[in-house]
């Protein structure tokens, strides 16, 4: 039986382990931390539970697909569909609750922003058709293997090239489509889902809005950490072995073939390795001396984040599960993140509150606030000062928008910043998604899911193809399994 070492237990690593174990391979997962799930993990601060990383969950059918693969009932992973996509708070005091579903979103854009509902509906429908056309050739297939992307869907995808907006920015596409700057700003924020700037990322990435607005977000019962917990349990039931607190130090190879890994505790021989580690660190730390794909890995990094975890000892009825408080000067904020790499005085703030639907996540008269601000990568800034300034900015901005000083209600508190993201989750310089998509074709220049140099080496997770976010990490594992089947003639 062929042995597989999976490096890292993030969503890409766990789902790769499931798929490869299902192929009949002997799979072991090596995780440097003492917990599984990568960024999708949880922590209790007093009587408040917090999801520590990703907070938006779309395409739950991808989890259900894994359950079906291993003959488990879908009820193993319960979740609820949220009626709201997000609540938006603008600098002039306007508050808008955006629902899920094309027709409802179109109606809301008309009521709140004065947009034509029919024009908005056509735009959202175009994004849906773009997504469906791209999915079989770009999202669930390797762009680097012709026999995968040359499928029946290729002609449909090619036919829609004029509608993707590949030659202009997301912001320009949205400003042309909508007359109200607030409409464009709302759609522009979707670029942050892969750590990019809407003023530089191509209009193609507007397909993210299809998942956020047309299909709408869901919430796993038990919070986002339930995703990694469910995948971990599936792995165990399939006989996958976990080595927690065991950091991989080297991927060993000989004669252009993987031969195993070396960890802090053992030498582990195997025929296959799947790295769920940041692809930059995989080359820099684990594959020293191997050819470095400079064209791919030297691209601009994605943004990072500063996150505060606040246990609030009161309820705020104005807030929902997902909330955005926009900066007045959105372009200047992204210039700060990507150009000057400095702390922005008036940041856009995202507040995620699972206790709105998961009542056990906070006391009855309290809420668990996940407060996130997009931040530059770590290039040696004074992060202690940045965090302090950002905390003050967040308290002032949220207090103004909500009509009362929120500071006295913060009962428990913790935070993370780019330094911690790099140290705990091994994201280079604290970047969350590896490379950004801040150029016309950067989305097509992500590292492939297999090595072109070493036989038996594969890559999964948000820093490789097809990109950032839980759905794409799950699809990266699907591509890895597909490549392994092709390379080793498995059924």
Give residue 243's pLDDT.
98
Give residue 442's pLDDT.
75
Residue 96 has pLDDT above 70, yes or no: yes
Please give the average per-residue pLDDT across 407-424, as a whole number: 98
Contact present, 475 and 140 (Cβ < 8 Å)? yes
What's the CA angle centered on 223, arms 274 and 62, to 5 degrees?
A: 45
The neighbour count for residue 1, using CB atoms within 10 Å, is: 7
Q: What is the DSSP string of 323-390?
A: EEE--S-HHHHHHIIIII----SS--EEEE-GGGT-GGGS-TT-EEEEEEEEE---SS--HHHHHHHH
Give residue 403's pLDDT.
97
pLDDT in tens, 66-75: 999 999 999 9
Question: 128: cis peptide before it, omega within 30°?
Answer: no
Closest residue by Cα to residue 192 from 436, 369, 417: 436
Residue 443 confidence class, pLDDT cut points 50, 70, 90: low
Give residue 153's pLDDT.
74
| Per-residue 3-state assignment (H helix, E strand, C coil) for 395-410 | HHHHHHHHCCCCHHHE
50 three-class SS: strand
Residue 28 has pLDDT above 90, yes or no: yes
Contact present, 327 and 198 (Cβ < 8 Å)? no
Alpha-carbon distance 97 to 108, whole Å? 8
Contacts of 375 (CB under 8 A, 6+ apart): 303, 304, 305, 306, 337, 343, 386, 390, 417, 418, 430
Task: Walk me through the domains of the chain, giving residue ranges and CATH numbers.
Answer: 3-40+222-299+440-488 (3.50.50.60), 102-214 (no CATH)
Closest residue by Cα to residue 89 from 413, 312, 399: 399
Buried b (16+ CB within 10 A) or exposed e, 340-372: ebebbbbbbbbbbbbbbebeebbbeebbbbbbb
Residue 155 has pLDDT above 80, yes or no: no
The neighbour count for residue 191, using CB atoms within 10 Å, is: 27
Percent of the chain beyond pLDDT 70? 99
35-44, 210-219, 287-296 — which is least confidently predicted? 287-296
Mean pLDDT of the chain: 95
How many whole angstroms from its chain centre is CA 350? Answer: 15
Give residue 303's pLDDT.
98
Give residue 146's pLDDT.
78
- Model confidence, pTM: 0.96
Q: In this structure, is the dihedral angle defined by the CA atoms of residues 368, 374, 377 and 379, taken in order, positive or negative?
A: negative
Closest residue by Cα to residue 63 from 285, 168, 220: 220
Residue 230 confidence class, pLDDT cut points 50, 70, 90: very high
Residue 290 has pLDDT above 90, yes or no: no
Please give the average per-residue pLDDT across 260-282, as a whole number: 98
Please give the average per-residue pLDDT across 320-333, as a whole number: 98
Q: In this structure, is the dihedral angle defined by the CA atoms of residues 33, 35, 40 and 43, taken in order, positive or negative?
A: negative
Alpha-carbon distance 382 to 35, whole Å? 29
pLDDT in tens, 335-383: 999 999 999 999 999 999 999 999 999 999 999 999 999 999 999 999 9
Give residue 9's pLDDT.
98
Give residue 160's pLDDT.
86
For residue 143 the two structure tokens come to 């762009």
Q: What is the DSSP string of 69-121?
A: HTT--GGGS-EEE-SEEEEEE-TTS-EEEEESSHHHHHHHHHHHH---HHHHH
Alpha-carbon distance 463 to 276, whole Å? 9
Closest residue by Cα to residue 190 from 314, 88, 67, 120: 88
């Amino acid at each position: 039986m062929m042995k597989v070492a999976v490096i890292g237990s993030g969503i890409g690593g766990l789902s790769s382990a499931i798929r490869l174990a299902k192929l009949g391979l002997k799979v072991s997962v090596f995780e440097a931390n003492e917990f599984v799930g990568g960024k999708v993990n949880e922590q209790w601060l007093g009587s408040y539970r917090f999801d520590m990383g990703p907070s938006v969950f779309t395409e739950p059918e991808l989890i259900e697909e894994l359950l079906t693969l291993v003959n488990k009932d879908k009820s193993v992973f319960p979740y609820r569909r949220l009626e709201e996509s997000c609540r938006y708070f603008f600098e002039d005091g306007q508050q808008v609750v955006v629902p899920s579903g094309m027709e409802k979103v179109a109606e809301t854009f008309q009521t709140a922003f004065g947009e034509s509902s029919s024009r908005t509906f056509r735009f959202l429908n175009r994004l849906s058709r773009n997504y469906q056309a791209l999915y079989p050739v770009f999202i669930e297939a390797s762009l680097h293997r012709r026999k995968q992307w040359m499928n029946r869907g290729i002609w449909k995808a090619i036919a829609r090239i004029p509608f993707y907006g590949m030659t202009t920015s997301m912001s320009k596409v949205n400003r042309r489509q909508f007359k109200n700057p607030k409409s464009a700003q709302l759609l522009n924020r979707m670029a942050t889902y892969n750590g990019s700037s809407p003023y530089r990322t191509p209009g193609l990435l507007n397909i993210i809005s299809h998942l956020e607005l047309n299909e709408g977000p869901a919430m796993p019962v038990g919070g986002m950490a339930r995703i990694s917990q469910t995948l971990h349990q599936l792995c165990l039931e399939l006989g996958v072995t976990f080595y927690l607190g065991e950091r991989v130090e080297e991927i060993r190879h000989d004669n252009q073939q993987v031969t195993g890994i070396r960890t802090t505790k053992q030498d582990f021989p195997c025929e296959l390795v799947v790295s769920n580690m940041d692809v930059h660190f995989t080359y820099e730390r684990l594959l020293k001396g191997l050819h470095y794909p400079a064209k791919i890995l030297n691209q601009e990094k994605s943004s990072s984040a500063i996150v505060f975890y606040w246990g609030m000892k009161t309820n705020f009825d104005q807030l929902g599960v997902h909330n955005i408080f926009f900066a007045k000067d959105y372009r200047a904020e992204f210039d700060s993140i990507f150009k000057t790499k400095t702390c922005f005085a008036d940041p856009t703030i995202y507040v995620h509150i699972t206790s709105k639907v998961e009542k056990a996540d906070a006391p009855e008269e309290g809420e668990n606030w996940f407060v996130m601000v997009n931040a530059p990568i770590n290039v040696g800034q004074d992060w202690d000062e940045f965090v302090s300034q950002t905390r003050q900015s967040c308290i002032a901005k949220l207090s103004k928008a909500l009509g009362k000083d929120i500071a006295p209600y913060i009962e428990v508190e913790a935070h993370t910043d780019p330094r911690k993201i790099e140290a705990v989750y091994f994201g280079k310089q604290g970047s969350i998604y590896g490379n950004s998509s801040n150029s016309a074709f950067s989305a097509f220049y992500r590292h492939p899911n297999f090595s072109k140099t070493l036989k038996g080496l594969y890559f999964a997770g948000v820093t490789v193809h097809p990109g950032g976010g839980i759905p794409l990490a799950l699809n990266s594992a699907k591509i890895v399994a597909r490549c392994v089947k092709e390379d080793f003639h498995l059924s």
